[in-house]
Amino acid sequence: MWTYLIRRFLYSIPILFGVSLVVFSLFHLVGGDPATILLGKHATAERVAMVRAELGLDQPLSHQFVNYLREVVTFDFGKSYATREDIRTKIANGIGPTLFLTVPAFILTALLSLSIALIVSYYRGRWIDRLSLVFFVIIMSLPSLAYILFGQFILASKMGWFPISGYGATFSERIYFVTLPVLISIALNLGSDIRFFRNSVIEEVTSDYVRTARAKGVSETMIYLKHVLKNSMVPVLTYIVIQIPYLVLGSLLLESFFSIPGIGGMTIEAVNNSDFPVLKAMTTFISIVFILSTLLTDVLYRLVDPRMKFGK
Amino acid sequence: MWQVALRKVFRKKIPLICGLIIAAFLMVAFAAQFMGFGAAWDIPVGGQYLPPDFSDFKMWLGTDILGRSVMYKTIQGTRVALSVGIITAVLSAPIGIIFGMISGYFGGFIDEVIVWFITTLSSIPNILLLIAISYTMGRGMTAVYIALTATSWISLARILRGEVIKHKQKEYLVAAEALGVGHTQRIFKHLLPNVTHQIILSMTFMVEIAIRSEVLLSYLGLGVQNLPSWGKMIDDAKGELSTGVWWQLTGATVAMFLLMFAINVLGDYVRDALDPRAHV
């Protein structure tokens, strides 16, 4: 067990290094001169030289890479180019609002789609199942921007049921502002979740041991409660768990449309402002969170799943 | 295996309709690309924000802020979306096939390096990688193609690696090895035909994801610059809705919805036909 833990932990080091290498080469090697992207094509040579010096782009590449690695390890990404804010503070401030939006949306989507999937799979092959399958493919196929525009324009602006955009200072204010984006987020993910869960449940319902149970006279309800629910949870939980790292990234579009001051909105803002240091820091930061959460889930799986214990 | 499955799929009515919808989109995109269909999109056809008028084809979806035909813009957007989808799939499939098959087939050190590379790339959330690449490469279509290709091959490579590892132990490959068939022949003549269905399925989803991403990138101003795109049309619609102009949003949304719906449903049928255990 311990050897596994140590090995798994050490394995994230080359991955972290790889991510740093990819992000660094993207921002420092592949692209055009970041100073020119920042200032536009018509900037004077002195201005470009000044910005290059400020961002450390005038140093040799090896120096730049070492500097960047130091940023990654110390989590100190310098200052935003557009607003002069410390990026670390910016990220720390953004996590709260992002999680306030994504966590409720995530939990509600999971619960709702799981319940619907169980109901639908109970009636598999009958009209209610077929109809809902069509309905959820339709939901999946609509562009996400259409949901956001529809929600903001019809439900908030026209009907006045929700605030158009913003984020509050107190808890109840925040709930008031976040309700509509949470609802839209649920609608965005419901279709694909339900389809996946339904297939996992049906896979279990049609398996041999369930047929045996049915042949022995176990009622359909009991089969669901005692066997199917438990066993179909393995793929379902895996599917849910791999979404957890995305919670920190937030929803880029929802945050920017509803002016929620989170990580996703900041990323879009950085694109719009051509804020090179922020964009680089966001990419790095989210990837680190990603690597750490995969590490954590792998370890947890190892601890939880009894089948893993006898492996090497 | 997949030829039989495809024939089986297209004998049913629903997948046939979806196939026809996709074919119609392809024809529109082809006509827009090579025969100048809707090429006059940037020439005003009337006043600002004229509502839809069904007596004239170019007025079917009304006009935009500059009096341009929204119908023509939707057609040109179709061309942009489909070329992004198809080019991405065509470029990234060979990369995914080569990396996935080599990794699964040879194993050992090569496998470890490729797996490391795949894990590294998939540790950066797709959308951020897309934004980062198209931002640093400069705005425009070339950057979009490169960004989408760089991100799309990963899942195919991973799927194929798993498939190849599964197939490697099967009798037919062991027999081929015993008969002295070389690596190249074993990979291309024996393995490849057995994973073709996975490649086709993956490419379908590549097209779908690429089109969705293009809309998103164009909306962020990172995508296509001098052509209309569904994403840019939806971006325009953001300001138009409050003045009651709904046709630009409708044009882009309906076009994208129809295409995504057809791809999704057809993909489902194909997958079920390929998977003997699937339950419809």
Higher pLDDT pick, A224 / B266? B266
Residue B63, strand partner residues: B69
State how far the alpha carbon of A229 is from the alpha carbons of A220, A262, B57, in Å: 12, 36, 54
Q: Which CATH superfamily is domain B2-274 in?
A: MetI-like (1.10.3720.10)
Say whether B120 and A267 touch across the interface (CB within 8 A). no
- Cβ-based contacts of B125 with chain A (< 8 Å): 245-246, 249, 286-287, 290
How much is the pLDDT for A239? 84
Q: How far separated are the first and last CA of chain B, in Å rounded? A: 19
Q: Residue B280: its pLDDT value, please?
A: 41
- Which whole number is the average pLDDT over A185-189? 90
Reported in sequence order, the residue ranges of chain A that DSSP labels E, i.e. its strands, are none
Phi, psi of A79 (to 5 degrees): -110, 150
Confidence of residue A310 (pLDDT cuts 50, 70, 90): very low
Question: Which pair of tokens denotes residue A161?
Answer: 């049921």
Provide the pLDDT for residue A308.
Answer: 57
In this prediction the pTM is: 0.85
Residue to mutate among A12, A22, A129, A165, with most B CBs inside 10 A, is A22
| CB A287 within 8 Å of CB A119 | no
Of B135, B221, B257, the CB nearest to A143: B257
Report pLDDT digits (tens) over A244-298.
Answer: 888 888 788 888 888 888 898 888 888 888 888 888 898 999 899 889 888 888 8
CA distance B217 to chain A (A): 11
Phi/psi at B69 (5° precision): -75, 120
What tokens appear for A183 in the block? 């609802």
Helix axis angle, A263-272 to A276-304, nearest 10°: 150
Q: Are B29 and B21 in contact (CB under 8 A)?
A: no
Predicted local distance difference test score (pLDDT) of residue A159: 78
Which residues numbered 151-190 in B keep a CB inside 8 Å of some CB on A? none
First and final CA of chain A: distance in angstroms?
A: 9
pLDDT score, position A175: 81
Instruction: Spell out the per-residue pLDDT of chain B, length 280, in tens.
Output: 667 777 878 888 888 999 999 999 999 989 888 887 777 777 777 777 777 777 777 777 777 777 788 888 899 999 999 999 999 999 999 999 999 999 999 988 999 999 999 999 988 888 888 888 888 887 788 888 999 999 999 999 999 999 898 888 888 888 888 888 888 888 888 888 888 888 888 888 899 999 989 888 888 888 888 888 888 888 888 888 778 788 888 888 999 999 999 998 888 888 878 765 544 4
pLDDT in tens, A8-67: 888 889 999 999 999 988 888 776 666 776 676 677 777 778 777 777 777 788 888 888
Q: pLDDT value at position B86?
A: 93
* Dist. CA B211–CA B214, nearest whole Å: 5
The full set of domains in chain A, from first to last, is 8-74 (no CATH), 91-304 (1.10.3720.10)
Do the beta carbons of residue A145 and residue A75 sit within 8 Å? no
pLDDT at A311: 46
Helix (H) or strand (E) holding A206: none
Average pLDDT value for residue range A226-248 = 82
CB contact under 8 Å between B136 and A138, yes or no, is no
Chain-chain contact of A143 with B127 (C-beta, under 8 angstroms): no
